[in-house]
Chain A
């Protein structure tokens, strides 16, 4: 029971027997209650992204420069040895058998082989396809050359930056948000609709004078309630634990979040339109989502893929959502800056929704 005051000063009692509850409100409440009373659903919606960002944030946290580890075959001159140790390089003394094992396993980056005859060059043995090996070679070469008397020809100065926005976690969080909103919309609409169909609940609702559009609207509204909570939890968490900031406009952030969710909800309706059991719809949704998980740049930049496939990857809705969120959070974009991303999302969402409704199996 609740009551509120109308401007005329009369009291209206809600929930009185005469007052008819609105079907959209009731259908939305049904969804929210089913979700809120299922601990598993709550964890996957709100807890899982936090756990994932914590795990990945710790695994890829910013660390100081990796120590350089090199191997030295027996017979390497003590001066070389000493120069490297003085410069904080870890040197392992190895015989030739164990040296090649260590090198292959990557436990040493470069192997120093002394010249067979004095006066011949010192050999750096390393695999140039390993970035850390090339790195180590350059480092130890600099150290050894300076120890042998080489001087810098040009004056240089290092300036190290540790700005928020350039770290892996700053890249990761928008990707995780996009991924979470995608899964939330796909499962929260696609799976739920098919589950209702399997349970004959869809049929039962249609046997009552329920308007079909009311059900569709309420599914969307239930998501609309959940999305801000999902966003808030992960944004607050990543701000507190990792100092991740939103440098652009919150309006633009919400626009991309809602636009992306609406797009994936539409795709979910299309995927769920004919499916007669939850196994089918789960398979179909994984089929749709898996390629995007891999290619859309959730965990690492999508630009790592070859140039040939870039136009395809750029056109995927999850890529648009990831890029849009990164534009807002990292590059400080406003609403105008995310319009291209919203356009891509609309190009996917509108046809998916139209086709999904057209072929939707209600009974």
Chain B
């Protein structure tokens, strides 16, 4: 799958009593290449243009400029053929509540030339016992699995999942991850958007980090993390109102610390290569400034830190 120079501009809203608001650039010249068989993640905060991008890839939004090719085909000419081979789970769809699980899947099966057998689908998303329940009576996790089942009906070669686990509890989230893994085991290509780092690190072979509609970085999660200076993170949380008593230059000057960043919640993150040395030095600094220490932790660097390093912002800030 290739997209080239992808761009989407929304016209400003034409208000009755106010001037037309300026056009919004949701996606700005995005180039992506996704290989067959890989799981590709679009990673970015809310409003970064993930959904707009993925809907253009799905052929549900027409780009203002640029083009999308997938499986060697384009949406403009081969839509019907592509629809048979691509599965889509939208960010939120309110599936008909008064239909049973079985009825809904039968409806979706009717659209495809070679649909996956019903029993097989129900087993794949673990909704066997709920086959005669109304969609409206399902839990959030069950509904999400049903939405994924609808995307899997045509045995798609490419599966798009837009924020598949947003708002789900950890248990349901793990079930969804299991579904994606099972789909990939059958040889499928998956494209998903998320703002959960853990999800991207676990599921994706490669991730594209997007911010403000622009591509910031593409790469293998482990490599992106390894490319960070240090590779470890020391987090310092000081008692209220004490956070600003530390100075970014002082923290950077500590041994083995290469970068420091203060989150809006008041937590200092230090990128370090030798956590033991950095922690000892940081504690000494805190002591000398007479700040109360609320929490101190060290962890390995994650994609979240990659995002912070690249954009200077946290994923869930905006």
* A residues at B contact (CB < 8 Å): 17, 20-23, 25-27, 29-30, 33-34, 37-38, 199-201, 203-210, 363
In this complex, the member of B60, B86, B107, B153 whose beta carbon has the largest number of chain A beta carbons within 10 angstroms is B107
**B98: which of A20, A34, A209 is its contact (CB, 8 Å)?**
A34
Distance A26 CA – B111 CA, assembled complex (angstroms): 9
- Report the interface size for chain B: residues with CB under 8 A from the other chain: 33
**A17: which of B60, B118, B134 is its contact (CB, 8 Å)?**
B118
**B32 at interface by CB-CB < 8 Å:** no
Q: Are the CB atoms of A30 and B90 closer together than 8 Å?
A: no
Mind listing 7 A-B residue pairs with CB under 8 Å? A200-B90, A204-B93, A204-B95, A204-B150, A208-B153, A208-B154, A209-B84
With A22-B110, A23-B111, A33-B99 as given contacts, are A209 and B83 in contact (CB-CB < 8 Å)? Answer: yes
Residue of B nearest to A196 (CB): B96
Q: Are the CB atoms of A21 and B110 closer together than 8 Å?
A: yes
Q: How far is the CB of A216 from chain B (nearest CB, A)?
A: 15
A205 / chain B contacts, CB cutoff of 8 Å? 111
In this complex, the member of B90, B94, B111 whose beta carbon has the largest number of chain A beta carbons within 10 angstroms is B111
* B residues at A contact (CB < 8 Å): 58, 60-61, 80, 83-84, 86, 88, 90, 92-96, 98-99, 103, 106-113, 115, 117-119, 134, 150, 153-154
Distance A152 CA – B58 CA, assembled complex (angstroms): 91
A23 / chain B contacts, CB cutoff of 8 Å? 107, 110-111
Q: How far is the CB of A17 from chain B (nearest CB, A)?
A: 4
B113 / chain A contacts, CB cutoff of 8 Å? 20, 209
B150 / chain A contacts, CB cutoff of 8 Å? 204, 208
Distance A38 CA – B109 CA, assembled complex (angstroms): 25
B83 / chain A contacts, CB cutoff of 8 Å? 207-209
Q: Are the CB atoms of A30 and B94 closer together than 8 Å?
A: no
B103 / chain A contacts, CB cutoff of 8 Å? 29-30, 33
Distance A201 CA – B154 CA, assembled complex (angstroms): 18
Q: How far is the CB of B157 from chain A (nearest CB, A)?
A: 13
A25 / chain B contacts, CB cutoff of 8 Å? 110
With A17-B117, A30-B107 as given contacts, are A200 and B94 in contact (CB-CB < 8 Å)? Answer: yes
B99 / chain A contacts, CB cutoff of 8 Å? 30, 33-34
Residue of A nearest to B160 (CB): A207
